[in-house]
Structure formats: structure tokens, C-alpha cells
Amino acid sequence: MPEPFPSAAPPIVEIDRLTRQFGNKTAIDDLSLTIPRGGVFGLIGGNGAGKTTLLRHILGLLKAQTGSVRVFGLDPVACPVGVLGRIGYLSEDRNLPNWMRVRELIRYTEAFYPAWDSKYAEELREAFDLDPLARVKNLSRGQRARAGLLVALAHRPDLLVLDEPSSGLDPVVRRDILGAIIRTIGEEGRTVLFSSHLLDEVERVADRVAIIHKGQILLNAAVDEIKESHRRVTLRFDQLQERPPQLIGALTQEGSGCEWTYICNGESEQVRRAAQALGATVVYDSALSLDEIFVTRVSQ
């Protein structure tokens, strides 16, 4: 039986006060994050937010300058075999050996993973419609993504790390195949960590989401929890207001005169009580999409 999400088991990834600088630029800034075992964890952020840098630390491809990274309880830099042997990784740049044929790529990758499932690899190859004789350099961007996904999945990893997995995939593959794979792995009790800036996709497949911005985690919670705790409310005041009155939990506000619209962090009842305290009535109250929450949080 797969464990319920979030799992009571020890977390699969523990990052503590990680900082990474590239020259003068701080890519990760004193970031702490725990990723529970099991389920689908979405990492969302804009371009240059630090998603790829964070994932590369988890894989041990970048060494922590300060702070620590633990994956399966191990340091990925000190124990690359112990960590990488249990991870399937699809990089954003789809970095694969260009000179190999698809079947050579499969045979080559197989040698690194004792748990490699040849039958499953063949099923995936057929599902992804990959010609075994095609050279990797001749594959289209979408085909490269599929080939990368195949070699990341076929050893049935405990942790699947996907960096912008949708990039280059057509909508059908993205929705049907990728979505199905991510869900299946999540339901099998294994963990999927994926980064994306396609928020509808994250909303569809992720159980838990972390928003990363300028190298810091702004929000880290279950998707439903995030959606329930963010609301758009429109308040009507008895008198004209030159400035928006300060509503507890308000993240943004806009409007004029007697009607002001707020985006708030808090549950519906809390917001209603806060509005009453200001002497206003709630004339409109709605939940926000993940996309709206992200934009609000990031643009603060």
C-alpha cells in the first residue's frame, strides 16, 4: 500500500540553509526545503528564479557553498552512486550523448542501474514512438525529451527529477503520457520532483508545490491548502476611501472610492471577519487559481 501523502516516513530531500552564488549573483539565498517521501512535488518559479540550480544541488551536480543537502539521508556529492542510482533525471537542456543511437543509449544507460526493467524500457520506447536506430543528434526536441524521459524512468527510480519536463513536448504527449507517468509514479509511493512554469500543469498533477523566487522559497504547501488560503475579495465601504484600508492578510489591493479589491492570504471566514473590523461588507469572494497566486506572490 502506498503511504498517504505527505508521508510519515523520513523526507526524501532535506535542504538546510543552502546558499549558492555565481560570481556576484546569488542564485540560491539561504534556502531551506524539505520534500516528503511519496507524491508529486512541483517547484515553480520564473526564469532565473533558481529552480535548475536547486535541482542540480539535489543531484550533486553543484556543491553546496554553504548549508547542506541530503537526499535519501545521504550527501549527493559524497555518495553519487548511492543517490544517483535511485534517481531518474531529465535535464532541461535534454543533454544526451548525440552520437549514440537510441538503442545504444538504452543499452548504455541500462549498465548503470541494477534495477533496470528492460521490458518497461521497450514499452516506453514504443509508447514514445522512438526509432531504435535513430541517432540522438537527429531527434527533434520533443523526441529528445522522450528519449531522456525513457532512460530516466526505466529503472523505476525512487525519486524522479524532471527539470521543465514539458519543454518541447506537444500538448498530447504532455497531457496524456507525461501526466500519466507522473501520476502513476506518485501513486506507486515513489516521489516525483518537477520544475515548471506551466502552472496549469503543476496544478493538475502536483500534490504539493513550492514557489521559488530570487533563490528563496516564498511558499511551500499542498496545492489544495494553497488554493484554500488565497482569496480575492471585493469590499464595499460606507464612505469614500482615498487609500485602501489595511486589511489583515492582504497581499495586493486595487480599486477606488468605496470599492476595493484585495487578494488575501487567509481563509474565507478570517477575511470576512477582518473586513467587518474595517466596517466594510464583502460583496465578492472567490478562490484564486495557482497562476494568480503565483503572480501575486512573485510580484510583491
CB 226 within 8 A of CB 236: no
- Check residue 51 for interaction with another protein (CB under 8 A): no
Query: From the list 63, 68, 123, 176, which residue makes contact with another protein (rule: CB under 8 A)?
Result: 63
CA distance to 56, 71, 84, per residue, from 89 (Å)? 10, 14, 9
Helix axes 118-127, 141-153, angle to 10 degrees: 160
| Residue whose CB is less far from another protein, 49 or 217 | 49
Shortest separation between residue 95's beta carbon and another protein, angstroms: 4
- Check residue 108 for interaction with another protein (CB under 8 A): yes
- Check residue 97 for interaction with another protein (CB under 8 A): yes
- Check residue 115 for interaction with another protein (CB under 8 A): no
Give me the sheet containing 25-35, strands edge to edge: 25-35, 13-22, 66-71
Q: Computed over its alpha carbons, how large is the radius of gyration of the chain? A: 22
CB 145 within 8 A of CB 74: no
- Residues counted in the chain: 300
CB count, 10 Å around CB of 93?
A: 11
Query: From the list 14, 16, 107, 251, which residue makes contact with another protein (rule: CB under 8 A)?
Result: 107
- Check residue 25 for interaction with another protein (CB under 8 A): yes
- Check residue 81 for interaction with another protein (CB under 8 A): yes
18, three cell numbers? 543552502
- Check residue 143 for interaction with another protein (CB under 8 A): no
- Check residue 68 for interaction with another protein (CB under 8 A): no
Which residues sit at the interface with another protein, rule CB under 8 A? Answer: 22-23, 25, 27, 48, 52-53, 56, 59-63, 77, 80-81, 83-85, 87, 89, 91-100, 103-104, 107-108, 110-113, 132-133, 137, 148
